[in-house]
Chains A and B, each alone.
Chain A
Amino acid sequence: MGMIDFQEKSDLVSMPKVKTSRKVTDRVVKVVIIAFFGLALLPLISLLTTVITRGVGRFDPTFFSSSMRGVVGAGGGAVHAIWGTLLITGTALIISAPIGIAAAVYLVEYGRGKLAKLLTFLVDVMTGIPSIVAGLFAYAVFSIILGPGTRSGVAGSIALSLLMIPVVIRSSEEMLRLVPGEQREAAIALGSPKYRSIWRVILPAAAPGIVSGVMLGICRIIGETAPLLLVAGFTDSMNLNVFDGRMATLPVFIYSQWQNKGTDSVAYEGRAWSAALMLIGIVLIMNIAAKLIAARTQKVR
């Protein structure tokens, strides 16, 4: 009965049948796409819950006030690694931000012709340099200047700068291009020289965007492990001098805690997860802040 029905229908009007199968495809595709999207969220959920549940245990005052010097087994903390991360990232910021912003100003305001094109291309490609290559570069430079085997925080900063500069250039460039033409023209019409209009008008107008770009740049490098493993090394004591000696950082702290677990492996893992929690926290907060700043400035325009 149903069979006949179906046959009849399809014989009589073929259009609706095609439409049904097309609709089915449409539905199926939609379900598949949404399912894949949900699948993509699973690792994130698993990762965040793991880091939080396992990291919260050692997220105590000792963790933020002790180093690992003289600590065997349980206890200890990561204050030396936190300072190392702050100092190395800060130094990288001091190197990268001026160079990156200046290069972006060059590209937007002065850059014409082959040189600018080459720079644009190289910056694009530079964004993709593997971090370990940046580390090897810093190692090569410092071992030629200071002899093989030297480790220092500043070498780490230079490696990280190589990774951060392209991000700063790219984002600053976009932000500078967003500054409305009227503002530039007004400044020039008033007879102020170009450098002054850049300094007084264009840079301030683009400042929030540039700041957010720099923050994204920091997010890009603050979790880097491989280059720091090669050139900044690891120590269990506090070292506040970036120019001399090994310096611990949070990512390398995580790696070394995981890799060199002593007999009491739970204590080492707890510290590793706590450091991971802290690192993720920093990155997420900076990331969100950067996006809020960027979003707000775009709304203002």
Chain B
Amino acid sequence: MFMTNQNNAKRSRVFFEASARFVVLGAGVLVMGGLFGVALFLVLQGWPAITATSGLPRNAANLWELAAPLAFGSVWAATIALILAIPVALSCALALTEYLPKQLSTTLGAVIDVLAAIPSVVYGLWGIMVLAPMLAGPYGWMGQNLGWIPLFAGEPSATGRTILTAGLVLAVMIMPIMTAISREVFAQAPKELREASIALGATKWEMIRMVVLPYGRSGMISGAMLALGRALGETMAVAMVLSAVPGLISFELLTSSNPNTVAAFIAQNFPEAHGLEVSALIALGLALFVITFVVNGIARKISNQPSDDAKPGLLARVKNAFVATGVRA
């Protein structure tokens, strides 16, 4: 009697143990399955467009003709955003870790994080109603005086809704992510090295250049890659701000004819799409998914790489920073 009870207890314990394991494993598998499901369903629904030769949006002859200029637009806008955001983000990270007093830097760091928390549709609203009108004047001036530079060529937009404005809005949106990650890795630079270099007579900037920056390099790169992924996938802000011609490939920054981006094109055309057009937009989404998957994958690989002196905490730190600010796609 007593024995069977104990056996029962043991059995139920084993059962619970196994089912607990099953539940959490199931959750993990579900998450993985979800990701594969995304790819699967996008392929299923996008397939008709991948093979189609007519009926696509913009009367494109095939999907490639539709996707190529949009992919260019996405990459171009994201590149502009990165170029604008990198110096600012690095400066912010350095100011917060190296220059500002601790109390102030905690507060201001949180303030920068707030930028990451603002929804993209609000950025879009701000971009089109505040930023673009503000920039129209300067664009006109730039077009007149710097028009000889190919990037600034063409008739400058009178409304300011150019790809440079879109890039600027994107830069504001991705800057906090890069700042947060760089901050984490900069703060990780070993104290001994810092102190040693200062003791050897280095100025603060020299210390930063020789100790902090090299130490944080892989973190900075992976932060930039993550930011790139976000900029590529950002939809609403671009859709609202940009004056776009979907089939255009152009490097001109100031005109009102700009290339469109994949994500914005999907959002703008989806509500009125039907039949094969829907498939085409889903296929574009699949392309975007693959591109961002690769970019993010590379970012992770870089942050995982053991650099010169192994820093076991780096990966965790980067992830931490990312989660803390990861408030928007």
Contact = CB atoms under 8 A, between A and B. Distances in A.
Interface in B197-246: 203-206, 226, 229-230, 232-236, 240
Given A122-B35, A127-B322, A133-B42, 5 more contacts: A34-B95, A129-B292, A225-B121, A226-B263, A280-B119
10 closest cross-chain pairs (CB), A and B: A130-B233, A223-B119, A36-B91, A102-B27, A195-B20, A128-B296, A106-B24, A131-B329, A136-B285, A26-B203
A196 B45 CA distance: 44
A241 interface: no
A127 B296 contact: yes
B146 interface: no
11 contacts: A22-B203, A39-B88, A46-B126, A51-B122, A111-B28, A140-B45, A170-B319, A198-B20, A220-B327, A220-B328, A225-B235
A140 B236 contact: no
B121 A223 contact: yes
Given A109-B24, A125-B297, A140 B282 contact: yes
A219 B323 CA distance: 11
Interface string B81-119: 000000111011011100100000000101111110111
Interface in A223-252: 223-226, 229-230, 251
Interface string B3-25: 00000000001001100110111
Given A107-B28, A128-B292, A129-B38, A174 B320 contact: yes
A34 B288 CA distance: 36
A124 B99 CA distance: 31
Contact of A132 (B108, B123, B206, B288): B288
Nearest to A174: B320
B80 interface: no
Interface of A: 22-23, 25-26, 29-30, 32-37, 39-41, 43-44, 46-47, 50-51, 98-100, 102-103, 105-107, 109-111, 115-116, 118-119, 121-134, 136-137, 139-141, 143-144, 148, 162-163, 165-167, 169-171, 174, 193-196, 198-199, 213, 216, 219-220, 222-226, 229-230, 251, 254-255, 258, 269, 272-273, 276, 279-280, 283-284, 287-288, 291
Contact of B117 (A109, A170, A287): A287
Contacts of A273: 125
Given A122-B35, A125-B300, A287-B114, A133 B44 contact: no
Q: What is the predominant secondary structure among interface residues of chain B facing chain A?
A: helix
Contacts of A25: 203, 205
Interface in B246-291: 263, 266-267, 270-271, 278, 281-282, 285-286, 288-289
Contact of A255 (B121, B233, B320): B121
B172 interface: yes
A270 B234 CA distance: 25
Interface in B306-323: 316, 319-320, 322-323
B175 interface: yes
A26 B205 contact: yes
B24 A223 contact: no
Given A37-B92, A109-B24, A122 B236 contact: no
A287 B34 contact: no
Interface in B37-86: 37-38, 41-42, 44-45
Kindly name the residue among A33, A119, A258 whose own CB sees the greatest number of chain B CB atoms within 10 A: A33
Given A22-B203, A254-B121, A110 B24 contact: yes
